[in-house]
Structure 1
Amino acid sequence: MQIGTPLAGLLVTLALAWPVAAQESTQASVDAALEAVQGAATAGGLAEVVKIDHARLAAGAGAEMGPSRVLILSDPAISTPILESEIRAGVDLPFRVLSFDDAGTARVIYTNFAFLAARHGLEESDAGAAFDARLAEVLAAANVEASAAPVEGLARDFGVLELASAHGFDATIERLRSAIVAQDDTVWFGIVDFTADAAALGVTLPRATLLLFGGPAPGGVAMKDFPAIGLDAFCQKILVYEGPEGALRVIYNDIAALATLHYGTSAKPHHALNERLTATFAKALE
């Protein structure tokens, strides 16, 4: 059969269409898993903080990556006791679930209390057991098979970058927010005011606010070969909190470190983003 015949043309068309069809199938599975978790979480009383479609946002910004969606959910009654033990754990709260394309298969991963304990020096406790049980209920109700994020290699403050602020708490939040939204490739997703959430429960916490944002294009490039980091690093998070004697601290994730945690290695885009974020935050806090 000579190339150029109708049959040969059909074979070429089918060969080209196969990867597209496979990715569409995986995208559908990724979507279905996340929507199932969202539905179960809503039915179970968890509040949705933000739902982010990494791949579609990246595509809209001109970057390509595999299907990936993250869901951040909140229950202050669960988070507050953990924050009472260690306020810095707020950088890894509230609940996070990622549905993504793992080498052609839809996979779901989540952050469990063991991750928080290793990274923030927390002891096993009723609060930790409640954290794991709450998310386990949601995943069971969603009928979604999921696995916890890796903890091997984690130690206290692993992958935590830190800056100090000489400004007041509200001014620090506003200066960081202004610096973030001033970048034309960045999307602002909102904040979680842990202190206000705790106060509604009658609990007094140091002032602590989590800022949520992301860059669809640079994030898409950073996640393309490292999609699991969408659980921890994207959206990007900054925790501003009041430390001892009123000192204000700003902590955020080392993207290269988290890539190494999930994949055993990191890449140039991760380090470039670390440098960019640190420069942006440091300037805002001058």
Structure 2
Amino acid sequence: MKHKWFSVLACVAVVGAGISANAGDTQQAAVDHSFEEVRVAVSAASLAEILQIDHARLAAAEGVEMPPARVQLFSDPALNAAILRENIRAGLDLPFRVLSFEEKGTPTVSYTSSAFLAQRHNLSASAPLADFDARLHDVFSQVKEVSAQKVATDDIVPDFAILEIRSNYGVEETVSRLKKVVTAQSDTIWFGEIDFQAEAEDYDVSLVPAQLLLFGGPAPGGVAMAAFPAIGLDAFCQKLLVYQGRDGKAVVIYNDIAALAQLHYGQSIEPHDLLNKRLTATFAEAVK
């Protein structure tokens, strides 16, 4: 099975050593506590820990200040396969994600429910969606000191906040080209990729080639999140889903940062639009 992800735990340890003056900050401590509560619950629920990103500490290492925010990704590969069998594009919202962050002085935890996936990707299979929420319940039922809030779905319609580019190449070549252009950027960290097709094979589920690419820019991301920390759940790290279209060539989809800011806060700012433009130009050039 082809799983690749870079552990950010080591990266966070290094960064944390450089900002020890903030270690006792009440807000940061509260976010760290909620993050750890969820992490322990994820392990107890026998879910696979994929990736942990400390947005604020990574941004601080680049000289950018933002409120405390830490996101963790964890997975149930069998459930991923069941959901993706209906619509491969749902991979943009997999695996599970939970964001621990501080907003207006209050520690907060947010996550995406099955309703978000169902509405965004037009899913109808009830069993996998019920299992999705049940697995989240397995986690949050063990967390006694954290009040988690799911992202509101009132404004979610099919393909909401999804940007799309058509590649001139197949999935493997497209992934190679995207990885090359992304890792060439000095302000960007490559976190890893998940091969959904390879995962699904272990559960006798046949999917088209599909890979989720994970990366991020701590400095530009910190600027974009400074007054909008909740978008760290979906917009950061950056997620690119590359899957095989009907013509055999790859389709690349990714999140519209400005639209997600509008979802969470009812407004967006210029850095969100600038990042959208930068990302679109970079990806389009790589796959033309």
Q: TM-score, normalised by structure 2?
A: 0.90
Distance 1:263 1:156 in 2: 20
Query: What amino acid does structure 2 have at the position aligned with 1:57?
Result: L
Distance 2:215 2:271 in 1: 18
Unpaired segments ≥5 residues, structure 2 = 1-20
Unpaired segments ≥5 residues, structure 1 = 1-19
1:1-286 pair list within 5 angstroms: 24-123=25-124, 125-143=126-144, 144-286=146-288
The SS at the match of 2:63 is: coil
CA RMSD after TM alignment? 1.4
Query: What amino acid does structure 2 have at the position aligned with 1:26?
Result: Q
Displacement after TM superposition at 1:53 (Å) = 0.1
Displacement after TM superposition at 1:179 (Å) = 0.6
Displacement after TM superposition at 1:44 (Å) = 1.4
User: Identity of counterpart residues, as a percentage?
Assistant: 55
The SS at the match of 2:174 is: helix
Displacement after TM superposition at 1:168 (Å) = 2.2
CA contact (8 A) 1:23 1:104 kept: no
Query: What amino acid does structure 1 have at the position aligned with 2:218?
Result: P
Q: Give the number of the structure whose alpha-carbon radius of gyration is greater.
A: 1
Distance 1:42 1:236 in 2: 24
Distance 1:260 1:132 in 2: 25
The SS at the match of 2:90 is: helix
Displacement after TM superposition at 1:43 (Å) = 1.7
CA contact (8 A) 2:170 2:249 kept: no
Displacement after TM superposition at 1:220 (Å) = 0.2
Query: What amino acid does structure 2 have at the position aligned with 1:121?
Result: N
The alpha-carbon distance between structure 1 residues 22 and 153, as it changes in their structure 2 partners (threshold 3 A), is: farther
- CA distances 1:247-269 after superposition (whole Å, capped 9, x unpaired): 31000000000000011110000
The alpha-carbon distance between structure 1 residues 187 and 41, as it changes in their structure 2 partners (threshold 3 A), is: same
- CA distances 1:16-52 after superposition (whole Å, capped 9, x unpaired): xxxx989811111111111111111112111111100
Distance 2:208 2:170 in 1: 14
Distance 2:250 2:169 in 1: 8
* Equivalent residue pairs, number: 267
The alpha-carbon distance between structure 1 residues 94 and 27, as it changes in their structure 2 partners (threshold 3 A), is: same
Displacement after TM superposition at 1:124 (Å) = 5.3
Distance 2:182 2:117 in 1: 26
Query: What amino acid does structure 2 have at the position aligned with 1:185?
Result: D
Query: What amino acid does structure 2 have at the position aligned with 1:178?
Result: K
Distance 1:23 1:130 in 2: 39
The SS at the match of 1:244 is: coil
Displacement after TM superposition at 1:243 (Å) = 2.0
Displacement after TM superposition at 1:245 (Å) = 3.7
CA contact (8 A) 2:170 2:248 kept: no
Displacement after TM superposition at 1:213 (Å) = 0.3
Detail structure 1 runs of 4+ shifted over 6 Å in the superposition: 20-23
Distance 1:41 1:99 in 2: 14
Query: What amino acid does structure 2 have at the position aligned with 1:105?
Result: T
Distance 1:67 1:207 in 2: 36
Q: TM-score, normalised by structure 1?
A: 0.91
Displacement after TM superposition at 1:189 (Å) = 0.5
Query: What amino acid does structure 2 have at the position aligned with 1:61?
Result: E
Query: What amino acid does structure 1 have at the position aligned with 2:262?
Result: T
Distance 2:124 2:261 in 1: 26
